[in-house]
């Protein structure tokens, strides 16, 4: 299989950085374009803001802040020779990741098993689980919490949709 477009969603966490390192190496070895996507989650009390100008300013500030953070995240690593697309989208993370991957003809999604929350009692993070369930695009999950061993992980294969 040829991989020309690889997507790495990031929440800027330590776990996400480990998956990004893997994605960089994978993209370089396969001469693939790397799409680095950050999804800004909706604000819970957004509807309580009455002034449309305040909403617009908040949205602009959040997007600008996320774009700056994405640039800092990417620049922490040696990226020479890799074509990198930087994307910031607002919405529900797993839905936006799936939508973007379809729209941009992504061949492979590389993600960490856990994000910022790193909830050890879960086999995989909530976003990762939903990606595995709903994505038709192959996914590689990078185990980012190797010190945690749960008996429940034995029966679950995080690469279950590798072949479709």
Average pLDDT, whole number, for the chain?
A: 82
Contact, 67 vs 88, CB < 8 A? yes
Q: What is the pLDDT of residues 58-87, one digit of tens each?
A: 778 889 999 999 999 999 999 888 999 999
Query: What is the dotted CATH code of the domain comprising 5-153?
Result: 3.40.50.620
Burial 76-107 (b: 16+ CB within 10 A, else e): eeebeebeeeebbbeeebbebbbebbeeeebb
**Residues sharing a CB contact under 8 Å with residue 94, sequence separation 6 or more, in sequence order:** 126, 127, 130, 131, 134
Calculate mean pLDDT across residues 6-14.
Answer: 94
Calculate mean pLDDT across residues 98-121.
Answer: 81
Q: Above 50 in pLDDT, residue 118?
A: no
Q: Above 80 in pLDDT, residue 47?
A: no
pLDDT of residue 159: 44
What letter would DSSP give residue 89?
E
Calculate mean pLDDT across residues 111-124.
Answer: 57
Contact, 54 vs 43, CB < 8 A? no
Calculate mean pLDDT across residues 146-160.
Answer: 42
Going from N- to C-terminal start, the domains of the chain cover: 5-153
Q: What's the pTM?
A: 0.79
Q: How many whole angstroms separate alpha carbon 161 and alpha carbon 164?
A: 5
pLDDT of residue 95: 94
162 or 88, higher pLDDT = 88
Q: How many whole angstroms separate alpha carbon 29 and alpha carbon 8?
A: 16
Name the pairing type of β-strands 33-40 and 5-9: parallel
Contact, 21 vs 126, CB < 8 A? no
Across the chain, where does the E strand assignment appear? 5-9, 33-40, 84-90, 108-112, 139-142
Calculate mean pLDDT across residues 132-143.
Answer: 91
């Amino acid at each position: 299989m040829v991989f020309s477009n690889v997507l790495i969603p990031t929440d800027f966490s330590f776990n996400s950085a480990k998956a990004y390192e893997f994605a960089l190496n994978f993209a370089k070895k396969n001469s693939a374009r790397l799409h680095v996507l950050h999804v800004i989650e909706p604000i819970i009390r957004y509807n309580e803001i009455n002034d449309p100008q305040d909403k617009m300013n908040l949205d602009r500030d959040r997007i600008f802040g996320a774009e700056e953070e994405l640039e800092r995240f990417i620049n922490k690593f040696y990226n020479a020779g890799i074509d990198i697309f930087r994307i910031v989208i607002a919405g529900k993370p797993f839905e936006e990741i799936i939508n973007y991957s379809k729209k941009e003809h992504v061949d492979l999604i590389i993600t960490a098993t856990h994000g910022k929350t790193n909830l050890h009692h879960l086999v995989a993070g909530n976003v990762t689980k939903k990606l595995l369930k709903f994505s038709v695009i192959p996914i590689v999950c990078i185990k980012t919490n190797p010190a945690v061993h749960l008996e429940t992980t034995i029966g679950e294969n995080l690469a279950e949709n590798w072949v479709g």
